[in-house]
Structure 1
């Protein structure tokens, strides 16, 4: 085998991104399934880790291999779970060692004590390397037709979980939702809109962009694109998926939802910003209209499998259109530099 290339950072140190050309082969302890990396997707989490905002190297290591949106090809699997040549993605989060009640039943996305680990983020090496290993419970097979877009599985798993929880909450009463509002037309927002369209809802997407690929991508789903403030929308959504994390948008969509509405907060605010708002009006709206607001992050295996099915049923050309740039690993620094019209940038290890 050739040397392993790996994209790494020194956690907590800004701008320490480095491509190591002779990184060690993945240790057998990482998993029985050996995978050749095809590509990884890059997201805001990677940029925050590169900026030194967070990230944790594996025990005893100084550097962290980043990359958590994986796509690979199985090289060997002595367990027989997968076959050589199968496409696979690695589940990012692993349960804590205690484990907490949720981790004990496979709901590591709902970990209670925060001792979970995450590939490329927290205490586990990521997938931005030529080869990686994974244990069978954390290996998700992909349809061969997804060979160019399978790295979208991780962000799709996040919105698959969001929709799973929305539908569970909706069972509290007779509920016949028709209108869905998604705020933010980044990868998470567009994939949330895709899953809404697959459910047959009237889908509306709100984003600041008035040019570039976003409006066209929304229209291709049969959805309606808006670039106005939330309060100017002329409808009340039954479901809101808030994917921007912008504080003013978060507060406005809570007040905009229809009676018995459900608002899922999937975007993470940066914090450190204070804004004036009428907390009493928000309270009145939520209480008197029986509305629910909840946060959602990460996903467990069931959600990854739901996401794989959603991608399999999606238009492959539409999925490919989400990918703004494909950059070879030799140009890794360019891949981690934001472009003005980027939606999803992919770092390619093998073609």
Structure 2
């Protein structure tokens, strides 16, 4: 079968190669791949920035944003041939740490976790793949190819779960959320905010293109002014930062409502310096009981939350998030972002 593979930490090694067909082991599903999504993590792996091949292998099958149809399933697994499924990305470490032992492997404390398509386990960018039934999640069949949005939705499902958990430290009425960034994570975070009945605001660069259109179609208010200007005007109770810009992250931490919650989901590049008044930031965070936290990855609970959110979403709006669909033979084209790209999917 064909798969999209790389030699980890070797730029220019991305290519479609022939690999051995997988054989489902005990308790595993055999899945016909439908599509996989491409994100910044995949592009960094393709650029040779990081990635780890399975033990004894030179190449890594990439792809952690999966979508497939079950070909065969073990009896009693809860799955059947024809089910639309995705595979969970992360696996708990073998020790395991306390978090992994409690099923919270997205919060692994010792870093010995493994990840499909990223760290030591082949991913889902292949025409066939297997997955343990305990690490597969069934999707509403009405989603069809839109199910490829599942993994990025899990990221924001976790973020919202954590926001709601930490808000329980005191009486808290969620009213207004500002999402910075209008890529897949930002727009899906905004969608989950609308599903919670909140007044949602999205901030990104420029007033032209598909991102403002998608934000407004969701019923959110779109902004392109600097974050301090927007935040001082709307005074968001919650900020979800999804740009990865160091400046935007600092602005989010220093411009929110009293007792505000700031969730950082964007990963900033290192080496870019930002000047700000750390003393004033510390003073405001303490005196206003602000809370700032980072969120990444997802566990099985978040996958089920994401599946419910996607099933409840407007399918036409979801379809607008997938701006390009590329055949596997031309998968390399997905690794060069287009000007109006939101989510690029590769068809298997």
Q: TM-score range with shorter-chain normalisation?
A: over 0.9
Match of 2:49 among 44, 50, 53: 53
1:209 and 1:310 map into 2 onto residues whose CA distance is 28
Cα deviation code 1:248-282 (max 9, x no counterpart): 11011111110111000000011111121100111
For residue 139 of structure 1, what is the aligned residue in structure 2? 136
Distance 1:146 1:285 in 2: 44
Please tell me whether the aligned partners of residues 67 and 126 of structure 1 are also in contact (alpha carbons under 8 angstroms).
yes
Aligned length, in residue pairs: 345
Compared with structure 1, are the counterparts of its residues 87 and 305 closer, same or farther at alpha carbon in structure 2 (3 Å cutoff)?
same
Structure 1 stretches lacking a partner, 5+ long: none
Structure 1 contact 7–128 (Cα < 8 Å) conserved: yes
Deviation at residue 27 of structure 1 after TM alignment: 4.3
Which of 167, 172, 184 is residue 170 of structure 1 equivalent to?
Answer: 167
Counterpart Cα distance in 2 of 1:27 and 1:122: 21
User: Partner residue of 1:67?
Assistant: 63
TM-score scaled to structure 1, two decimals?
Answer: 0.97
Do the aligned residues in 1 keep the contact of 2:27 with 2:74 (CA within 8 Å)? no
| Secondary structure in 2 matching 1:109 | helix
Per the alignment, residue 9 of structure 1 pairs with: 6
How much does 1:29 deviate? Answer: 4.8
Residue number in structure 1 paired with 2:239: 240
Aligned to 2:296: 297
Give 1:79 deviation, angstroms: 3.3
Distance in 1, matches of 2:114 and 2:105, equals 9
Distance 1:58 1:16, change over 3 A: same
* Contact map agreement 2:178 2:200 (CA 8 A) in 1: yes
Aligned pair in 2 of structure 1 residues 289, 168: CA closer, same or farther (>3 Å)? same
The alignment yields a C-alpha RMSD, in angstroms, of 1.0
Question: What residue number does 1:109 align with?
Answer: 106
The CA deviation string for residues 79-129 of structure 1, in whole angstroms up to 9 with x for no partner, is 332000000000000000111111111110000000000000000001000
Contact 2:34–2:145 at 8 Å: present in 1 too? no
* Counterpart Cα distance in 2 of 1:173 and 1:155: 29
Structure 2, gaps ≥5 residues long = none
* TM-score of the superposed pair, with normalisation by structure 2: 0.97
Q: Which runs of 4+ in 1 moved over 2 A?
A: 27-31
Shift of residue 178, structure 1, vs aligned partner? 0.6
